[in-house]
Amino acid sequence: MTTQFNQPKIALITGASRGLGKNMALHLAKDGVDLILTYQHNTADAQAVVAAAEKLGRKAVALQLDVSQSATFPDFAAQVQQALQQHWQRTTFDFLVNNAGIGLHVPMTETSVEQFDLLMNIHVKGPFFLTQQLLPQLADGGRIVNVSTGLTRFAIPGYGAYAMMKGAVETMTKYWAKELGARGIRVNVLAPGAIETDFGGGAVRDNESLNQFIASQTALGRAGQPDDIGGALSLLLSEQAGWINAQRIEASGGMFL
Protein backbone atom coordinates (compact mmCIF):
# COMPACT_ATOMS: atom_id res chain seq x y z
CA MET A 1 0.00 0.00 0.00
CA THR A 2 1.30 3.43 -0.90
CA THR A 3 1.84 5.65 2.13
CA GLN A 4 2.81 9.29 2.57
CA PHE A 5 5.00 8.26 5.53
CA ASN A 6 8.51 6.83 5.28
CA GLN A 7 7.51 3.87 7.43
CA PRO A 8 4.25 2.73 9.05
CA LYS A 9 3.22 4.95 11.94
CA ILE A 10 0.87 4.36 14.85
CA ALA A 11 -1.80 6.90 15.81
CA LEU A 12 -3.79 6.94 19.05
CA ILE A 13 -7.13 8.69 18.54
CA THR A 14 -9.57 9.25 21.37
CA GLY A 15 -13.29 9.00 20.66
CA ALA A 16 -12.76 7.19 17.36
CA SER A 17 -15.72 4.80 17.31
CA ARG A 18 -18.04 7.32 15.63
CA GLY A 19 -18.31 10.77 14.06
CA LEU A 20 -15.20 12.74 13.24
CA GLY A 21 -12.95 10.41 15.21
CA LYS A 22 -14.03 7.44 13.10
CA ASN A 23 -13.47 9.40 9.91
CA MET A 24 -10.05 10.56 11.08
CA ALA A 25 -9.07 6.99 11.91
CA LEU A 26 -10.08 5.61 8.54
CA HIS A 27 -8.41 8.48 6.67
CA LEU A 28 -5.17 7.68 8.45
CA ALA A 29 -5.60 3.97 7.78
CA LYS A 30 -5.88 4.76 4.06
CA ASP A 31 -2.61 6.67 4.42
CA GLY A 32 -0.91 3.59 5.83
CA VAL A 33 -1.15 4.46 9.53
CA ASP A 34 -1.90 1.83 12.17
CA LEU A 35 -4.39 2.69 14.90
CA ILE A 36 -5.10 2.58 18.60
CA LEU A 37 -8.59 3.99 19.00
CA THR A 38 -10.62 4.63 22.12
CA TYR A 39 -14.33 4.36 22.74
CA GLN A 40 -16.46 5.03 25.79
CA HIS A 41 -19.41 2.63 25.63
CA ASN A 42 -20.12 1.17 22.20
CA THR A 43 -17.84 -1.81 21.73
CA ALA A 44 -19.58 -2.88 18.53
CA ASP A 45 -19.00 0.46 16.81
CA ALA A 46 -15.36 0.47 17.89
CA GLN A 47 -14.80 -3.04 16.57
CA ALA A 48 -16.44 -2.04 13.29
CA VAL A 49 -13.80 0.69 12.89
CA VAL A 50 -11.08 -1.82 13.72
CA ALA A 51 -12.45 -4.19 11.07
CA ALA A 52 -12.61 -1.39 8.49
CA ALA A 53 -8.99 -0.44 9.21
CA GLU A 54 -7.90 -4.06 8.93
CA LYS A 55 -9.72 -4.32 5.60
CA LEU A 56 -7.50 -1.44 4.47
CA GLY A 57 -4.47 -3.52 5.44
CA ARG A 58 -3.68 -1.82 8.76
CA LYS A 59 -3.32 -3.07 12.30
CA ALA A 60 -5.85 -1.59 14.72
CA VAL A 61 -6.79 -1.99 18.39
CA ALA A 62 -9.76 -0.54 20.30
CA LEU A 63 -9.41 0.31 24.01
CA GLN A 64 -12.16 1.52 26.33
CA LEU A 65 -11.61 4.97 27.86
CA ASP A 66 -13.78 7.58 29.56
CA VAL A 67 -11.81 10.81 29.14
CA SER A 68 -13.78 12.44 31.96
CA GLN A 69 -12.23 10.04 34.47
CA SER A 70 -8.61 11.18 34.78
CA ALA A 71 -7.93 8.82 37.68
CA THR A 72 -8.10 5.93 35.18
CA PHE A 73 -5.39 7.30 32.90
CA PRO A 74 -2.40 5.47 34.47
CA ASP A 75 -4.17 2.15 33.95
CA PHE A 76 -5.06 3.17 30.40
CA ALA A 77 -1.42 4.04 29.67
CA ALA A 78 -0.47 0.56 30.86
CA GLN A 79 -3.04 -0.92 28.45
CA VAL A 80 -1.53 1.12 25.62
CA GLN A 81 1.93 -0.18 26.51
CA GLN A 82 0.66 -3.73 26.49
CA ALA A 83 -1.07 -3.24 23.13
CA LEU A 84 2.08 -1.75 21.59
CA GLN A 85 4.18 -4.68 22.71
CA GLN A 86 1.62 -7.33 21.77
CA HIS A 87 0.61 -6.04 18.34
CA TRP A 88 3.62 -4.06 17.14
CA GLN A 89 6.53 -5.25 19.27
CA ARG A 90 7.17 -1.59 20.02
CA THR A 91 7.21 0.63 23.08
CA THR A 92 6.13 3.89 21.42
CA PHE A 93 3.48 5.31 19.10
CA ASP A 94 3.80 8.33 16.79
CA PHE A 95 0.64 10.46 16.77
CA LEU A 96 -1.76 11.44 19.55
CA VAL A 97 -5.10 12.95 18.52
CA ASN A 98 -7.15 14.32 21.42
CA ASN A 99 -10.56 14.19 19.76
CA ALA A 100 -13.07 12.77 22.27
CA GLY A 101 -15.68 15.26 23.38
CA ILE A 102 -19.30 16.23 23.87
CA GLY A 103 -21.28 19.29 22.85
CA LEU A 104 -23.47 21.61 24.91
CA HIS A 105 -25.89 24.24 23.67
CA VAL A 106 -27.21 26.05 26.76
CA PRO A 107 -27.30 29.80 27.49
CA MET A 108 -24.88 31.05 30.13
CA THR A 109 -27.80 31.89 32.43
CA GLU A 110 -28.99 28.27 32.38
CA THR A 111 -25.67 26.40 32.46
CA SER A 112 -25.40 24.24 35.57
CA VAL A 113 -22.30 23.58 37.64
CA GLU A 114 -22.60 19.91 36.74
CA GLN A 115 -22.65 20.66 33.00
CA PHE A 116 -19.69 23.02 33.33
CA ASP A 117 -17.67 20.50 35.34
CA LEU A 118 -18.38 17.72 32.85
CA LEU A 119 -17.22 19.88 29.96
CA MET A 120 -14.09 20.81 31.89
CA ASN A 121 -13.29 17.19 32.75
CA ILE A 122 -13.75 15.98 29.18
CA HIS A 123 -12.28 18.84 27.14
CA VAL A 124 -9.56 20.34 29.35
CA LYS A 125 -8.60 18.14 32.29
CA GLY A 126 -8.97 14.99 30.18
CA PRO A 127 -6.58 15.88 27.33
CA PHE A 128 -4.13 17.55 29.73
CA PHE A 129 -3.65 14.60 32.04
CA LEU A 130 -4.10 11.91 29.39
CA THR A 131 -1.34 13.46 27.33
CA GLN A 132 0.81 13.75 30.45
CA GLN A 133 0.42 10.01 31.07
CA LEU A 134 1.08 9.05 27.44
CA LEU A 135 4.11 11.28 26.81
CA PRO A 136 6.63 8.57 27.78
CA GLN A 137 5.12 6.39 25.03
CA LEU A 138 4.93 9.13 22.39
CA ALA A 139 7.96 8.84 20.13
CA ASP A 140 10.44 11.68 19.83
CA GLY A 141 9.59 13.54 16.63
CA GLY A 142 5.94 12.59 17.09
CA ARG A 143 2.88 14.79 16.77
CA ILE A 144 -0.06 15.83 18.89
CA VAL A 145 -3.25 17.27 17.43
CA ASN A 146 -5.85 18.71 19.79
CA VAL A 147 -9.33 19.08 18.31
CA SER A 148 -11.00 22.44 18.96
CA THR A 149 -13.86 24.26 17.22
CA GLY A 150 -14.64 27.21 15.00
CA LEU A 151 -16.62 28.56 17.96
CA THR A 152 -13.44 29.93 19.52
CA ARG A 153 -13.22 32.40 16.62
CA PHE A 154 -16.88 33.31 16.18
CA ALA A 155 -19.61 33.41 18.81
CA ILE A 156 -23.02 31.73 18.58
CA PRO A 157 -25.18 32.19 21.68
CA GLY A 158 -25.57 29.03 23.74
CA TYR A 159 -22.16 27.56 22.98
CA GLY A 160 -20.17 29.74 25.37
CA ALA A 161 -19.25 27.14 27.98
CA TYR A 162 -18.19 24.63 25.31
CA ALA A 163 -16.16 27.24 23.44
CA MET A 164 -14.45 28.35 26.68
CA MET A 165 -13.11 24.84 27.14
CA LYS A 166 -11.81 24.73 23.60
CA GLY A 167 -10.19 28.13 24.13
CA ALA A 168 -8.25 26.55 26.97
CA VAL A 169 -7.26 23.69 24.65
CA GLU A 170 -5.87 26.17 22.14
CA THR A 171 -3.82 27.92 24.81
CA MET A 172 -2.37 24.72 26.25
CA THR A 173 -1.46 23.60 22.73
CA LYS A 174 0.98 26.49 22.41
CA TYR A 175 2.54 25.71 25.76
CA TRP A 176 2.92 22.04 24.92
CA ALA A 177 4.60 22.93 21.63
CA LYS A 178 7.11 25.05 23.54
CA GLU A 179 7.73 22.49 26.26
CA LEU A 180 7.98 19.46 23.97
CA GLY A 181 9.99 21.10 21.21
CA ALA A 182 13.24 19.68 22.56
CA ARG A 183 11.89 16.21 21.76
CA GLY A 184 10.91 17.27 18.24
CA ILE A 185 7.22 16.83 19.04
CA ARG A 186 4.91 19.15 17.07
CA VAL A 187 1.63 20.18 18.68
CA ASN A 188 -1.20 21.80 16.73
CA VAL A 189 -4.93 22.51 16.93
CA LEU A 190 -7.44 21.36 14.33
CA ALA A 191 -10.62 23.43 14.61
CA PRO A 192 -13.57 22.09 12.61
CA GLY A 193 -16.44 24.30 11.59
CA ALA A 194 -20.01 22.99 11.42
CA ILE A 195 -19.89 19.38 10.24
CA GLU A 196 -22.69 16.98 9.28
CA THR A 197 -22.26 14.31 12.00
CA ASP A 198 -24.27 13.10 15.00
CA PHE A 199 -22.33 15.49 17.26
CA GLY A 200 -24.61 17.63 19.40
CA GLY A 201 -27.60 15.52 18.47
CA GLY A 202 -26.92 15.73 14.73
CA ALA A 203 -28.42 19.22 14.32
CA VAL A 204 -26.14 20.31 11.47
CA ARG A 205 -26.81 17.07 9.60
CA ASP A 206 -30.53 16.70 10.29
CA ASN A 207 -31.94 20.23 10.66
CA GLU A 208 -32.43 21.44 7.09
CA SER A 209 -32.90 25.11 7.99
CA LEU A 210 -29.77 25.11 10.15
CA ASN A 211 -27.81 23.35 7.43
CA GLN A 212 -28.92 25.90 4.83
CA PHE A 213 -28.06 28.79 7.16
CA ILE A 214 -24.55 27.41 7.68
CA ALA A 215 -24.15 26.93 3.93
CA SER A 216 -25.20 30.56 3.35
CA GLN A 217 -22.57 31.76 5.83
CA THR A 218 -19.73 29.63 4.44
CA ALA A 219 -17.50 30.79 1.60
CA LEU A 220 -17.60 27.38 -0.09
CA GLY A 221 -21.39 27.32 0.09
CA ARG A 222 -22.09 24.18 2.13
CA ALA A 223 -21.79 22.65 5.58
CA GLY A 224 -18.76 20.50 6.25
CA GLN A 225 -18.53 16.75 5.73
CA PRO A 226 -16.56 14.34 7.95
CA ASP A 227 -14.12 13.71 5.09
CA ASP A 228 -13.20 17.39 5.18
CA ILE A 229 -11.84 16.94 8.70
CA GLY A 230 -10.28 13.53 8.19
CA GLY A 231 -8.35 14.96 5.25
CA ALA A 232 -7.22 17.97 7.27
CA LEU A 233 -5.90 15.71 10.03
CA SER A 234 -3.98 13.61 7.53
CA LEU A 235 -2.42 16.81 6.21
CA LEU A 236 -1.37 17.99 9.69
CA LEU A 237 0.22 14.65 10.51
CA SER A 238 2.00 14.29 7.18
CA GLU A 239 5.73 14.70 6.69
CA GLN A 240 5.01 17.73 4.50
CA ALA A 241 3.53 19.54 7.52
CA GLY A 242 6.61 19.00 9.67
CA TRP A 243 7.35 22.73 10.04
CA ILE A 244 3.82 23.58 11.18
CA ASN A 245 3.88 23.84 14.96
CA ALA A 246 1.84 25.57 17.71
CA GLN A 247 -0.79 26.60 15.16
CA ARG A 248 -4.57 26.68 15.11
CA ILE A 249 -5.73 25.31 11.75
CA GLU A 250 -9.41 25.91 11.10
CA ALA A 251 -11.17 23.58 8.68
CA SER A 252 -14.52 25.30 8.18
CA GLY A 253 -14.75 26.08 4.47
CA GLY A 254 -14.60 29.76 5.41
CA MET A 255 -17.45 30.22 7.93
CA PHE A 256 -18.50 33.71 9.00
CA LEU A 257 -15.80 35.60 7.11
What is the model's pLDDT at position 34? 98
Whether residue 4 lies inside any domain: the answer is no
Say which DSSP state 224 is in: B
Whether residue 223 lies inside any domain: the answer is yes
Whether residue 3 lies inside any domain: the answer is no
Task: Give the helix/strand (H/E) hosting 152.
Answer: none
What is the model's pLDDT at position 195? 87
**What does the alpha-carbon distance between residue 62 and residue 46 come to, in Å, rounded to a whole number?**
6
Question: What is the count of structural domains for the chain?
Answer: 1
Question: How many CA within 13 A on the CB side of residue 147?
Answer: 26
What is the model's pLDDT at position 21? 96
The domain that holds 108 is classified in CATH as 3.40.50.720
162 is catalytic: yes
**What does the alpha-carbon distance between residue 183 and residue 162 come to, in Å, rounded to a whole number?**
31
Please give the distance of CA 114 from its chain centroid, rounded to a whole number.
Answer: 24
Whether residue 204 lies inside any domain: the answer is yes
Q: Could you list the pLDDT tens digit for every one of the 257 residues in the chain?
A: 344 555 789 999 999 999 999 999 999 999 999 999 999 999 999 999 999 999 999 999 999 999 999 999 999 999 999 999 999 999 999 999 999 999 999 999 999 999 999 999 999 999 999 999 999 999 999 999 999 999 999 998 999 999 999 999 999 999 999 999 999 999 999 999 988 877 666 667 767 788 888 999 999 999 999 899 999 999 999 999 999 999 999 999 999 99
**What does the alpha-carbon distance between residue 59 and residue 122 come to, in Å, rounded to a whole number?**
28
**Host domain of residue 45:** 9-250
Whether residue 201 lies inside any domain: the answer is yes
Pick the catalytic residue from 39, 159, 162, 175: 162
Whether residue 2 lies inside any domain: the answer is no
Q: Going by C-beta distance under 8 Å and a sequence separation of 6 or more, which residues neighbour residue 107? A: 157, 158, 160
Please give the distance of CA 187 from its chain centroid, rounded to a whole number.
Answer: 12
What is the model's pLDDT at position 2? 44
Whether residue 257 lies inside any domain: the answer is no
What is the model's pLDDT at position 66? 98
Q: Going by C-beta distance under 8 Å and a sequence separation of 6 or more, which residues neighbour residue 89? A: none
Which pTM was predicted?
0.94
Whether residue 68 lies inside any domain: the answer is yes
Q: What is the pLDDT of residues 72-121, one digit of tens each?
A: 999 999 999 999 999 999 999 999 999 999 999 999 999 999 999 999 99
